[in-house]
């Protein structure tokens, strides 16, 4: 066994200890963080706030669909 194998085995054992529902929560957290970031992000100076708002709504919708998919499937 090489040092690379030792590192791999350690990480494998560590990650195998994570239950699948917790892994699903990790996926949902990533999507939720992206959603919150999009919703809270204000327009840049010089941008049309109305157009940016429309863009943010579509971006948020895409992420909400993702959250539903990863919650249900």
Rg (CA), the chain: 19
Number of residues in the chain: 73
Short-list 42, 21, 34, 23, CA closest to 65 = 34
Report residue 68 CA to chain centroid gap: 13
Interaction between residue 15 and another protein (CB under 8 A): yes
Q: Binding string to another protein for residues 28 to 67, with x set by CB under 8 A, is what?
A: --xx--x--xx--x--xxxxx--xx--x--xx-xxx-xx-
- Positions touching another protein (CB under 8 A) are 1-2, 4-5, 8, 12, 15-16, 18, 20, 23-24, 26-27, 30-31, 34, 37-38, 41, 44-48, 51-52, 55, 58-59, 61-63, 65-66, 69-70, 73
């Amino acid at each position: 066994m090489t040092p690379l194998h030792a590192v791999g085995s350690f990480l494998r054992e560590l990650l195998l200890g994570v239950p699948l529902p917790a892994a699903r929560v990790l996926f949902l957290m990533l999507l939720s963080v992206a959603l919150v970031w999009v919703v809270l992000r204000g327009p840049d100076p010089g941008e049309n706030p109305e157009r940016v708002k429309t863009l943010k709504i579509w971006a948020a919708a895409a992420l909400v669909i993702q959250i539903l998919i990863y919650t249900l499937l």
